[in-house]
Amino acid sequence: MTRHTLLNLASPSRDAFRVEGFRFAPRQHNDADTSVAIVAGLNGHELAQMHAAAQLVNFLQTHQAEDPHFITGEILIVPAVNTFGFNMGERNWPLDKTDINAMFPGFDQGETSQRIAHHLFEHLKGFEWGIELEDRRDQYDCMPYVRMIKSGFEDKKAAAYFGLQFAHYRDFVPSDAGSLQYNWSVWHTKTYGLVFGNKQQIETHTTNQILDSLIRFLAKVGAIRTKIFAGYATNIVTQDAITLIPSQRAGVFEPRQAVGSFVKKGDLLGKVFDSLDGSIREKIYAPVDGLITCHYHYPLIYQNTIAYRMISIV
């Protein structure tokens, strides 16, 4: 393993902004069977993502030390990009509040976060596989899943290598234009988003699950040589299999079903209480049979907000 400072930017007053990358390669570089880049922490709330990536660095380093033939591909891992955000509890680039993950492919003559994206992307281009570890930007607790964006360069078969329960395969939307995942695909890297975790929290169970998924993926694409459990046979889910269940009313939200539960049509999913007089304003029921993939997880809910997301077999 070698550690590289991929980016170094001076600050007006505080310490310099640095992005660190960890490279793994076979003993003979030209023996590499494939190449994989894994990036986490493009925003400073992605604690679980940073931690999972760092655990992977540690796992690979330990195994490489024990077995010189363990690494069979080129691997680059970047556990944290927006380190300033992490150190301040902020999601975005702290000065101008721009989202680094909306600035790709970047621009070396542009604004600070465009320059950060540019210099980082120079290191990330050209990999065969690219994996972005991400949280959800909204207030949802979700089962870990793989996200694929239709770009003409996606590989649906390999989405199952992670062994997660489902992969969400969706159309491009304008807000994808500046994301790392989308720009990787424009530069012909086969790319996945791995979406998991609650905002600003780390759960050991999920970290281990994601670590397991990443190891499985690396083994299946031939970047490492190891034995691993098979995982789930991943369902590829498109928009028509997804049911969104809104709360009709605002108030205090009490979820009654956990993510990952299978429910039947008519089952109680949650309740909304009047925040002030405590009466029940609404009971939310499952409109279909299926698997609960996400629920709203903040105690206060706005009117018409999606309370649950479900997938069904169609």
CB-based burial label for 65 (10 Å; 0-12, 13-18, 19+): exposed
Nearest CB to other proteins, comparing residues 228 and 252? 252
242 is a site residue for other proteins (CB under 8 A)? no
Among 168, 135, 288, smallest CA distance to 234 is for 168
With binding defined as CB under 8 A, does residue 230 bind other proteins? no
Per-residue contact track with other proteins, 271 to 300, x per CB under 8 A? ----xx-----------------------x
Task: Report if residue 302 touches other proteins, rule: CB under 8 A.
Answer: yes
**50 in Cβ contact with 41 (< 8 Å):** yes
Read off the tokens for 26.
């076979």
Residues in binding contact with other proteins, number by CB under 8 A: 38
* By CB under 8 A, residue 195 contacts other proteins: no
By beta-carbon proximity to other proteins, the closer residue of 66 and 96 is: 96
Structure tokens at 9: 């930017």
41 to 80: interface string for other proteins, x by CB under 8 A: ----------------------------------------
Per CB under 8 A, 244 contacts other proteins: yes
Q: Is 246 in the site for other proteins (CB under 8 A)?
A: yes
Interface positions, 83-112, toward other proteins (CB under 8 A): 91, 95-97, 102, 109-112
**Binding-site member from 174, 227, 230, 313 for other proteins (CB under 8 A):** 174
Residues binding other proteins (CB under 8 A): 9-13, 91, 95-97, 102, 109-115, 138-139, 174-175, 177-178, 244, 246, 249-252, 275-276, 300-306
